[in-house]
Structures are given as structure tokens and as C-alpha cells.
Structure 1
Amino acid sequence: MELQEWLGKLKGLSSEQLIKTHFGLQEKIKKHYKLRGEGNNLKKAISLCEQQIAMAPLVIKAMRDKHHEDLKVLSEINRNISEPDISDEFYAPAHHGYRQLCVILRKLKQFERVAELEVKRNAEGWSK
């Protein structure tokens, strides 16, 4: 399946499903990168990083949405027990696919691509 077709299918998923898919890819990246010296595991790790990066804009939005939904629930609970409201600020986590692919590309001396990925990651709002 082509990457764009796959992304199109992801757009129909709920926030929780997108987040679950994101972290599932993260675990696969770790597994294949750990075995990078064997077979085509490095190539597979790169491909998985690229998949996770491709879906990153959908996932960060899903994380923000879930954060705000969770805050609504917590705020209601806090009101019922006379606790002060909690901050609604969202702090994005680091993105494993970006970080891992940048490590690989630095070793391959593909510094321009690293710079492009870092700009994209920062524009999307992921932590370093």
C-alpha cells in the first residue's frame, strides 16, 4: 500500500486509535533498529520511521484533542471535590521516529535531510 493511501485511511481513525498506532510503530522501530546489523532490519527501521513521521501531524492533533478531552473530565471531577482547575497547556512529547531517523541519517552523513526533518518536527510542535 502506498504511503498516501495509508495516510488517507488513518484520517478516519479516532484520536485514541491514532495514538495507539503511533506508539505501535515506535515499538517496531525500536525492535528493527536494535537488529539493524542483521538482514534488512535497518531498511525496515527507516521505513517505519518514515511512516511514523508521515502520520505525525495527525498524531499531534490527536494528542492535543485527547489532552483537552481529558482536561474536561478532570475539571469536572475537580469541581465536584472543590479542587482548583488544572492548567490546560499541552506539552508535546518527543517523537521517536524523527529522533531515530535523524540518528541514522547523521551516520550516513545526510545532513541536509536531517535539517529538513528537524524543521518539520519543530513546525509540528514535537519536543526534541
Structure 2
Amino acid sequence: MSILDLFKKKPKVNGIIKYLNLEGWWLNELSDEEREIILNIYSPMGSENSIIEGEICSSSQTQLHFFWGLIGWFNKPELRHIAYKLISKAETFIDKSSEPLDVHFFYSTKLEVFYKDRDLRPNGLELAIQSCEQQIANAPAAATAFKQKYDGNLPAHKGYAQLAIILEKQKRYDEAISLCEKAKSQGWAGDWDKRIERCDKRAKA
């Protein structure tokens, strides 16, 4: 590093990045190119400023919530390297105090990214399965949170559904049946009975 580098001013960071105390990550863990890509691609509806502009005094977003919303914008082949980096950072924010729904939606987003590359990376399918299992492990807490926050039945659960598909394709019918029964017992929406019936028939064939 030259003496001139010591006197270079780092760009001012405001917006949601500052509000969530992510300036260090933004300035030190991302390259100039990665920051430029994120600023050019990420443009949520209703946002007049970029994620580093404007003064935010209040927000319901947590760091994990921000990241799972951001990751989905980079689930294209040419941008997935950004998604992987965002996923790695987001996982550092998961602990016992994390909101169950933030964890739920983060693992759902992580699963979408990894499943797209299941045949393109040496361990792609294993990473996708791991993401399913992580979301499933959080399912009871997420179910409780959904019921407290929203009225009506539980929605579909991507982790259960995707892992059931994988197990069925691998002809692991007993495991698929057990998984579907678990998802059904927790109240997650899905065609569990049809899949259980189909897997049972194939297991006996």
C-alpha cells in the first residue's frame, strides 16, 4: 500500500447498509466490481434510493432479512457467484435469536440458488439437499411463527417439497414417504398424500 492509498477517502455509505451496520462488509468484503454489480442489479419496488443512499431512521428489516431479499436478485448463471458470496455472509447472522421466518425464507432462497447448480458443481446436489435439511430443521419454529403472524393454513414448504422430489428420483421411497408424512403432520401445504401413495406403489413394484 502506498502513502497515497492511506489518504484515499472511502465512499460514504448511507441507506439500509448503514442502518443495518453493514458498512464494514460493504466496503471491505466486496470488491469494487461486486459493489457495482449489486448497485446496478438490485432495485426493489418502492425504493427511491440505492441501498447506500438516503437516511433511514427506522426499519423492520434485520440483517438476515435484508440478505435473503437481496440474494434472489442474483440467481442467474452469470450472477450466481455474487449469490454464493451473499449466502456465505448471510449465514453468519443466523443464531438462536434469529427470527424463524427470516431463517425460513433465507434457506428457501439458498435452496433455489444451489438447486439451479445441482448438476454444474461437483457437490451441487449435496449442497441443495443440505439446504433442504436446514430449512426442514427450522420448520417447527417457522410453522409457529406463521400461525402467530398470519391467519389460515400454512403455505407450501420448499425444503420438504424439493427433498421429497429428490428422494423419489433416487428411488428412496421409504424415506420420501416418511418425509411427506412429517411435512403433512406439521401442516405444510402440499400434495403429500398423492406422493405418499405413488411412492408406496413404486416401493412395492
In the TM superposition, what whole-angstrom CA distance separates every residue of 1:16-70 from its partner, at most 9, and x where no partner exists?
x210111111111011111101221110000110111111011000111112xxx
> Counterparts in 2 of 1:47-66, with a 5 A limit?
47-66=130-149
**Bigger RCO of structures 1 and 2 (CA < 8 A, at least 6 apart):** 1
Where in structure 1 do 4 or more consecutive aligned residues deviate above 3 Å? none
What's the counterpart of residue 120 of structure 1? 182
**Aligned-residue CA RMSD (Å):** 1.2
Partner of 1:99: 161
Structure 1: distance between partners of 2:169 and 2:184 = 21
Q: Partner amino acid for 1:93?
A: P
Please, which runs of 5 or more residues in structure 2 have no aligned partner? 1-94, 191-205
From 123, 126, 136, the counterpart of 1:40: 123
Question: What is the aligned-residue identity percentage?
Answer: 37
> Which entry has the higher C-alpha Rg, 1 or 2?
2
Q: How many residues are matched? A: 95
Structure 1 Cα separation of the partners of residues 177 and 137 of structure 2: 16
Displacement of 1:90: 1.6
2:102 aligned residue (20, 27, 38) = 20
What is the TM-score when the length of structure 1 is the normalising length?
0.70
